[in-house]
C-alpha cells in the first residue's frame, strides 16, 4: 500500500507556518490519515501538536482571511476551527495518559508525539502526517498501521489487554471499524475482547450507542453483529437481541434461528437503502419471538402476538439504549407492530377494505413498511420467495390504487367528534365515541366514501336509529381541508 499523500490544501501550509512560528511540531493524525490511505471520503481533520493545542489553533485562526472562528474547549485542552476547504479541524496537544482500574477517566499529561500515537485505539488510527518544514508530508507510522491497512486488519498499537482495559469502548470501536471497513480483527486483539468484555459496563450508554449505530449504518451490518455476538459483547450491551439466537427442537420440528434471520433482514433493509430507523425496525421486528414461542402439536412452532409484544417493548428498549424517544421511536414501533400485515394480505385475496385499513394505520410509513416486509422474506426456497415477492407486487399495486382513490394515508374523517356533538347536541360521551367508530368502520369498509355529504347522511341515519334528534341549527360544514 502506498503511503497516504497530504492533499495540496492551503490550510495545511497555514498550520505548518503557525506551528513553525510557535516552535511546536504538528501532525495530521487519526481517521483522516487512515481514510486518505484507503482513498475513502475523509471527514474531520485531527491535528496533534507537541505543545499547546489551543495556542496553535488560535495562531492558525489569526492567519486565515476573515480570521477563522476558533472554539476553545478548555476542559479538554482542545480547540476547533471550521474551514471552508476541509471541514472542521480539531487541535490538541500531544498527551500521555495513565489509567486506573476503577474508572475510565485517565490522568492526562503533556507527552511526545510517540506517547500520543501509542494511546490511540488501533494501528490504522495511529498514523501521522508531518506538517513540519523539514519533513512536510512524511508519514509517521510507529505501529505498523500502513501494513495493517494493507492487510485489512484491526490491531491495537499496545498490548490489547492494556488498550481495552484502559478504555473498554475500544472493544466496540474494533467491531465498528471492522464492520465499516470490511476488515478482520487480528486474533490477539479479538481474544482480548473476550477477556475484557465485562469492562464494557463502565462505559456510558451514550458512547456505546454511538458505536452501535455506526455498526448498524454500515453496508453489511450483520458482520458487526456476528462479531458482537461471538465476542460476548452483545449479551452485555443488548441482551434481548442475543436471546434471539438458538434453535429449539421438538421431535423433528425445529424453528429457524431468529438471530440469523434478523441479521439477514437487517442486511436486506440496508441493501435496499434503509436509513438508521428502518434498520432499527429490522433489528426489532422479531425481538419478542423468544417471549411468545410455543409449540403446538398440530401446527408446530408459533410466535403468536410477537409483533404486538415487540412493539410494546420498543419504548423500553429505546430508553435503555438512550435512543431518541420521539417520532423516530414511534415510527419504529409502528413498523414492528405492522410488519406481518402485508404478508397476511398477500396470502389471501386482497380485499379493498384490508388495504384501506393498512393504509390508514401505516400512514406515511407504508412504503417503508413494504421495504421491511420484502426484506423479511428470507426463505431459501427460491420459488417460494419469488411467489411471495410477486404477491407483494400485487399488494403494492393495490395500495397505490386505493390511496389514489381514497387518500387514506393522511386520513382524517370528515366528521369529527365536535361535529357529532354539535349535530345532536351531545356532551363528550361514550355515545359520541361509538358514532365516530361506526363512521370510521363504514369508511374503511368502503360502505361510504370519506366525503362530507354521504358521511353526514350516514351519521344522521345512525343517530336516528339510536333515537337521537339533530339540533335545530343546521350543522355548519367546515372549510375543506
Ligand atoms: P470516523 O471516520 O468515524 O470519524 P475516526 O477514526 O476519525 O473515525 P473518531 O472517533 O473521530 O474516529 O476519533 C478520531 C481519532 O481519535 C481516531 O482515529 C483515534 O486515533 C483516536 N481515538 C478516538 N477515540 C478513541 C479511543 N476511545 N481510544 C483511543 N483513541 C481514540
Ligand atoms: Mg473522526
Mean pLDDT for all residues in the chain:
91
Please name the residue whose Cα sits nearest to atom 30 of ligand 1. Answer: 120
From the CA of 169, give the closest atom in ligand 1.
27
Q: Which residues of the chain form CATH 3.30.460.10?
A: 10-149
Output the pLDDT for position 449.
83
Range with the poorest average pLDDT among 34-48, 139-153, 193-207, 401-415: 401-415
For the record, the C-alpha cell of 83 comes out as 474551514
- Report CA(326)–ligand 1 centroid distance (Å): 29
Output the pLDDT for position 60.
96
Comparing 286 with 380, the larger pLDDT belongs to 286
| Contact by Cβ (8 Å): 170, 205 | no
The correct answer on CATH 2.30.40.10 for the domain covering 10-149 is no
Q: Is the pLDDT of residue 475 over 80?
A: no
Q: Rounded to 5 degrees, what are φ and ψ at 29?
A: -135, 175
For the record, the C-alpha cell of 285 comes out as 421486528
| CA–CA distance, 132 with 136 (Å, rounded to integer) | 5
Range with the poorest average pLDDT among 174-188, 199-213, 250-264: 250-264
**β strands within 203-290, DSSP E:** 249-250, 253-254
| Contact by Cβ (8 Å): 281, 336 | yes
- Report CA(126)–ligand 1 centroid distance (Å): 9
Output the pLDDT for position 6.
95
Output the pLDDT for position 152.
98
Range with the poorest average pLDDT among 185-199, 204-218, 467-481: 467-481
Output the pLDDT for position 104.
60
Alpha carbon dihedral 451, 456, 459, 465, in 10-degree steps, equals -130
Q: Is the pLDDT of residue 316 over 70?
A: yes
Please name the residue whose Cα sits nearest to atom 24 of ligand 1. Answer: 121
| CA–CA distance, 153 with 100 (Å, rounded to integer) | 28
Comparing 45 with 470, the larger pLDDT belongs to 45
Q: Which residues of the chain form CATH 1.10.110.30?
A: 161-237
| CA–CA distance, 178 with 340 (Å, rounded to integer) | 33
- Which ligand is closest in space to the CA of residue 120? 1
Q: Is the pLDDT of residue 473 over 80?
A: no
Q: Bridge partners of 93?
A: 49
- 318 alpha-carbon distance from chain centroid: 11
| Contact by Cβ (8 Å): 138, 25 | no
Q: Rounded to 5 degrees, what are φ and ψ at 326?
A: -95, -135
- Report CA(107)–ligand 1 centroid distance (Å): 19
User: What does the pLDDT look like over 345-373, one tens digit per residue?
Assistant: 777 677 888 888 888 889 889 999 999 99
| CA–CA distance, 312 with 281 (Å, rounded to integer) | 13
| CA–CA distance, 389 with 370 (Å, rounded to integer) | 11
| Ligand 1 pocket test, candidate residues 31, 46, 160, most atoms within 8 A of CB | 31
Q: Is the pLDDT of residue 263 over 90?
A: yes
- Report CA(80)–ligand 2 centroid distance (Å): 13
Q: Which of 146, 89, 98, 154 is nearest to 121 (CA)?
A: 154
Task: Show the DSSP H helices in 23-159 as ranges.
Answer: 31-37, 53-63, 113-118, 145-150
| CA–CA distance, 405 with 391 (Å, rounded to integer) | 21
- Which ligand is closest in space to the CA of residue 158? 1
Output the pLDDT for position 103.
60
Output the pLDDT for position 360.
87
CA angle, 250 then 251 then 253, to 5°:
65
Output the pLDDT for position 94.
96
From the CA of 170, give the closest atom in ligand 1.
27
- Report CA(111)–ligand 2 centroid distance (Å): 22
- Which ligand is closest in space to the CA of residue 180? 1
Output the pLDDT for position 448.
87
Kindly report the CATH number that applies to the domain delimited by 161-237.
1.10.110.30
Please name the residue whose Cα sits nearest to atom 8 of ligand 1. Answer: 31
DSSP 323-392: ---SHHHHHHHHHHHHTTHHHHHHHS---HHHHHHHHHHHGGGHHHHHHHHHHT---S-HHHHHHHHHHH
From the CA of 30, give the closest atom in ligand 1.
18
Q: Is the pLDDT of residue 325 over 50?
A: yes
Q: Which residues approach ligand 1 with their CB closer than 6 A?
A: 30-31, 43, 46, 120-121, 125, 167, 169-170
Q: Which of 276, 279, 335, 277 is nearest to 311 (CA)?
A: 335
**Which residues fall inside 5 Å of ion ligand 2, going by CB?**
31
Which residues are CB-contacts of 420 (< 8 A; sequence separation ≥ 6)? 426, 432, 435, 436, 459
| CA–CA distance, 88 with 110 (Å, rounded to integer) | 23
Which residues are CB-contacts of 301 (< 8 A; sequence separation ≥ 6)? 248, 250, 253, 255, 293, 294, 295
The whole-model pTM stands at 0.90
For the record, the C-alpha cell of 396 comes out as 403494492
- Which ligand is closest in space to the CA of residue 125? 1
From the CA of 176, give the closest atom in ligand 1.
3
Q: How far is CA 28 from CA 31, 129, 131, 400, 435, in A?
A: 9, 5, 7, 53, 69
From the CA of 173, give the closest atom in ligand 1.
27
Output the pLDDT for position 97.
79
| 206-211: average pLDDT | 98
| 272-282: average pLDDT | 98
Amino acid at each position: 500500500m502506498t503511503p497516504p499523500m497530504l492533499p495540496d490544501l492551503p490550510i495545511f501550509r497555514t498550520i505548518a507556518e503557525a506551528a513553525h512560528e510557535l516552535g511546536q511540531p504538528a501532525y495530521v493524525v487519526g481517521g483522516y490519515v487512515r481514510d486518505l490511505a484507503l482513498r475513502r471520503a475523509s471527514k474531520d481533520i485531527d491535528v496533534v501538536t507537541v505543545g499547546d493545542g489551543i495556542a496553535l489553533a488560535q495562531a492558525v485562526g489569526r492567519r486565515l482571511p476573515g480570521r477563522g472562528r476558533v472554539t476553545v474547549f478548555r476542559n479538554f485542552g482542545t480547540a476547533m476551527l471550521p474551514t471552508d476547504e476541509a471541514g472542521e479541524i480539531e487541535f490538541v496537544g500531544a498527551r500521555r495518559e495513565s489509567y486506573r482500574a476503577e474508572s475510565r477517566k485517565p490522568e492526562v499529561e503533556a507527552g511526545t508525539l510517540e506517547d500520543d500515537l501509542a494511546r490511540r485505539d488501533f494501528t490504522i488510527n495511529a498514523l501521522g502526517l508531518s506538517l513540519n518544514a523539514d519533513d512536510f508530508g512524511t508519514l509517521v507510522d510507529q505501529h505498523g498501521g500502513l501494513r495493517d491497512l494493507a492487510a485489512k486488519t484491526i490491531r491495537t498499537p499496545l498490548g490489547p489487554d492494556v488498550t481495552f482495559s484502559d478504555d473498554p469502548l475500544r472493544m466496540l470501536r474494533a467491531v465498528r471499524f471492522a464492520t465499516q471497513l470490511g476488515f478482520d480483527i487480528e486474533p490477539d486483539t479479538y481474544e482480548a475482547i473476550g477477556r475484557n468484555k465485562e469492562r464494557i459496563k463502565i462505559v456510558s450508554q451514550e458512547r456505546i450507542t454511538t458505536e452501535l449505530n455506526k455498526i448498524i449504518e454500515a453496508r453489511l451490518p450483520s458482520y458487526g453483529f456476528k462479531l458482537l455476538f461471538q465476542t460476548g459483547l452483545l449479551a452485555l450491551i443488548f441482551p434481548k437481541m442475543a436471546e434471539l439466537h438458538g434453535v429449539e427442537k421438538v421431535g423433528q420440528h425445529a424453528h429457524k434461528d431468529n438471530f440469523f434471520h434478523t441479521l439477514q433482514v437487517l442486511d436486506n433493509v440496508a441493501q435496499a437503502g434503509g436509513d438508521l430507523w428502518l434498520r432499527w425496525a429490522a433489528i426489532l421486528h422479531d425481538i419478542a419471538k423468544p417471549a411468545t414461542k410455543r409449540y403446538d402439536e398440530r401446527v408446530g412452532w408459533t410466535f403468536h402476538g410477537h409483533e404486538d409484544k415487540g412493539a410494546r417493548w420498543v419504548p423500553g428498549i429505546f430508553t435503555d439504549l438512550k435512543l431518541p424517544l420521539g417520532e423516530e421511536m414511534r415510527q419504529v414501533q409502528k413498523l414492528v407492530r405492522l410488519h406481518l400485515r402485508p404478508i397476511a394480505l398477500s396470502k389471501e385475496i386482497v380485499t379493498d377494505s384490508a388495504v384501506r385499513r393498512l393504509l390508514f394505520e401505516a400512514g406515511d410509513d407504508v412504503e417503508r413498511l413494504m421495504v421491511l416486509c420484502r426484506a423479511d422474506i428470507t426463505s431459501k426456497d427460491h420459488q417460494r420467495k419469488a411467489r411471495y415477492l410477486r404477491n407483494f407486487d400485487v399488494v403494492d399495486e393495490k395500495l397505490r390504487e386505493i390511496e389514489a382513490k381514497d387518500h387514506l394515508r393522511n386520513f382524517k374523517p370528515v366528521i369529527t367528534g365536535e361535529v357529532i356533538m354539535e349535530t345532536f347536541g351531545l356532551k363528550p360521551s361514550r355515545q359520541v365515541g361509538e358514532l365516530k367508530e361506526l363512521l370510521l368502520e363504514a369508511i374503511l369498509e368502503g360502505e361510504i366514501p370519506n366525503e362530507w355529504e354521504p358521511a353526514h347522511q350516514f351519521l344522521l341515519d345512525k343517530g336516528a336509529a339510536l333515537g337521537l334528534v339533530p339540533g335545530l341549527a343546521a350543522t355548519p360544514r367546515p372549510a375543506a381541508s
